[in-house]
Structure 1
Amino acid sequence: MSLKTNIKNTIADYKRFRKDQRKFGNDKVRYYNFWALPNSDACWFTQFLKHKNTIPDGRKINFLSVVGNPKISYFIRSPKIFFTGENIDNADHPSYLFKKYHLKNHDLSLGFSFLDDEKYLRFPLWILYMIPANASFEDIKTLINSYNNPNHRLNKNRQNFCSNISRADNNGIRKTIIDLLNPIETVKCAGSFLKNTNDLQEKFGDDKIEYLKTFKFNICPENSNTNGYVTEKLFEAIISGSIPIYWGSDNKPDPKIINQDAVLFFDPENPQVLFDKVNLLWNDEKAYEEFCQIKPFTENAAEEIWNKLSDLETKTKALIK
């Protein structure tokens, strides 16, 4: 592609996103290249900035993500914050195009990696799913304590075996786990991938958490394995009270926050270990009840999460100043 054509395409992208921004944005917080252009007032980041009184009158702040042309960032004024919900370290994923731009073209970058850079903050996607934007430290402690309560997992409605909710299986891990566990009991697949039930849509109105509350296990691997890449999937299983069956992040997902003993890990080199554990917990009620006594979050999880929110507040206020 010639330089002239490349510039022309980038400008075309810029005009399109500017048009969408005026339709969905507001005068203070704007979003570009997001997976779905949000109503700014309803977006987690907008709510967080308002709650922290971060944006003064007459100033604007721009958020950019990984759906679209990474070069659009050249045309957006500062302060601009990059946020990714995808694994930009995975060379096989389209979002990999953003890897060389997220620090270079932005004032602050938020992602999964463990980078040591003053312009970077590790801020995984799962925070947006689990923590309300206006949460206080006490609110977070209350949430963690509620999920750590064994009664959250031991409820009368949790009679179903195992679920998987996914749209695709790019690396084959999800199908491998499903095929491994199907001999114990049929795994219910409520997403478009290997779909064999309509209950999520017809009985639960597409409410994933309420649906998962009826299952003892949830297959929730990542779509790629990179240290630090931990999405909402694992946390949604914990929030629902299901026992997570996980693969990803070198099978050490956020160890300062997640109690690794409360998660069942899939090892492609030794799948029998997972099969035997799930088979035991499904068929032995006492073993299941004992496992449910294990707290899924560490003792310092609330403090670790609060530190993330505090760092984001500090860095965004510094950008505005």
Structure 2
Amino acid sequence: MKPALKIDFIDFWKTLNKTDNYFYRLLSSHYELYISDKPDIIFYSVFGKEHLRYKCPRILYSGENVGADFTECDFAFTGDFNPDPRHYRLPYYAICYTPEEFVMPVYDAEAELKSKQGFCSFVVSNRGGRVRNRFYDRLAAYKTIASGGRYRNNIGSPVPDKAAFIRDYKFSLAFENRSYPGYTTEKIVEAFISHTVPIYWGNPLIHKEFNPDAFLNYHAFPSERKFIEYIKEVDNNDALYLQHLQAYWCHGNRLNPQFLPENVGAWLVKCIESPIKPIACQPRTLTHYINHNLHRLKKNIRRRKW
């Protein structure tokens, strides 16, 4: 019989289903779970401060460009390369898809290329992102980029099916809102799964995440001009394009084992079973306030406009 565990999810995005999400599913194989307003532990994210009311152990999940503040949380999942033993690296894309979806299927790449209807797609609703918007303008000076989001839409209206839309184009402009080591959302994976070649900017260490032959990496070029020149070269050379299109997405054609649900779940259970005094119940020392203010400073630096 599985032990009972009372949990709650605080300060997440509004559409989160408390009984059908990544962490609930992980824990359900280890515990009999109950959503409770008096939880044994809470999971919280970065969209509010309600989590500060809870005295139980707190586990942060951040899929945004926000790191762990260990003056507020006991354990944390973020995309950062943070060596703290209380931290587990789990970028947002790793919770959006099953491990099987990261394995590149066998398909006819030449037929896929022939089916393409245009040069490049772009699907964005948030107008923020100075680097992304500037690059869009510069690349669009070469060829029209089909914009299917709410921002800069040039196809009539927002697309109902993003995956189907971007599959019709040779390339997908997959830029993050901000650049920070480790911060990687679902954008590049969406392009892979749709069998288009991502044009990527964001995580400068993205080559550690994915096979660099499978995408065009802004960070691998000495200048934006050189990068655009290479995009043009790939666009005009079918053999070179197919080299990128046919390359395995992940190193070894598999998801990093660190992100496998069984490994994430094992670490999570270890945290929950740890006999700790929650950070919320620990005295506020000078070191606590120094660390908290340092985190706030780093957070503001990371959020500077790109």
TM interval, shorter chain, is: 0.7 to 0.9
1:34 counterpart SS class: coil
**C-alpha separation in 1, matches of 2:181 and 2:91:** 12
1:184-203 matched pairs, under 5 angstroms: 184-198=142-156, 200-201=158-159
**Residue 188 of structure 2: aligned partner:** 234
1:40-119 matched pairs, under 5 angstroms: 40-50=18-28, 53-56=29-32, 60-69=40-49, 72-88=50-66, 102-119=69-86
Give % identity.
Answer: 23
Structure of higher RCO (CA pairs closer than 8 Å, 6+ residues apart): 2
TM-score (norm 2): 0.76
Which of the pair is proportionally richer in strand? 2
**C-alpha separation in 1, matches of 2:56 and 2:15:** 19
Q: Kindly provide the amino acid, as one letter, of the partner of residue 65 in structure 1.
A: S
* Counterpart check, 1:30 vs 2:30: no
* Counterpart check, 1:291 vs 2:244: yes
- Of 253, 261, 266, which residue of structure 2 is paired with 1:314? 266
1:260 positional shift: 1.3
2:115 counterpart SS class: coil
2:43 counterpart SS class: strand
**Residue 179 of structure 2: aligned partner:** 225
Q: Write out the 4+ residue segments of structure 1 that deviate beyond 6 Å after TM superposition.
A: none
CA distance 1:120–1:307, change in 2 (3 Å): same
What do residues 161-200 of structure 1 show as CA deviations (whole Å, max 9, x unaligned)? 1111112343411222212222332101112221112465
1:157 positional shift: 3.3
CA distance 1:116–1:299, change in 2 (3 Å): same
C-alpha contact 2:117 2:168 (8 A) present in aligned 1: yes
1:309 positional shift: 3.0
1:37 positional shift: 4.8
**Residue 89 of structure 2: aligned partner:** 122
C-alpha contact 2:122 2:146 (8 A) present in aligned 1: yes
1:62 counterpart SS class: strand
1:178 counterpart SS class: helix
1:65 positional shift: 0.4
CA distance 1:41–1:154, change in 2 (3 Å): farther
**C-alpha separation in 2, matches of 1:157 and 1:259:** 24
**C-alpha separation in 2, matches of 1:65 and 1:153:** 43
What do residues 19-53 of structure 1 show as CA deviations (whole Å, max 9, x unaligned)? xxxxxxxx944211112252212222212222xx1
C-alpha contact 2:109 2:242 (8 A) present in aligned 1: no
- Of 105, 112, 117, which residue of structure 2 is paired with 1:159? 117
Q: Kindly provide the amino acid, as one letter, of the partner of residue 119 in structure 1.
A: R
Structure 1: where are the runs of 5+ without partners? 1-26, 90-98, 132-139
1:248 positional shift: 1.5
Structure 2: where are the runs of 5+ without partners? 274-306
1:81 positional shift: 1.4
Q: Kindly provide the amino acid, as one letter, of the partner of residue 211 in structure 2.
A: N
C-alpha contact 1:212 1:237 (8 A) present in aligned 2: yes
1:122 positional shift: 0.6
- Of 145, 150, 163, which residue of structure 1 is paired with 2:103? 145
**C-alpha separation in 1, matches of 2:158 and 2:111:** 21
1:258-269 matched pairs, under 5 angstroms: 258-266=210-218
**Residue 230 of structure 2: aligned partner:** 277
2:121 counterpart SS class: strand
CA distance 1:289–1:237, change in 2 (3 Å): same
* Counterpart check, 1:168 vs 2:126: yes
**C-alpha separation in 2, matches of 1:87 and 1:159:** 34
1:67 positional shift: 0.6
C-alpha contact 1:258 1:301 (8 A) present in aligned 2: no
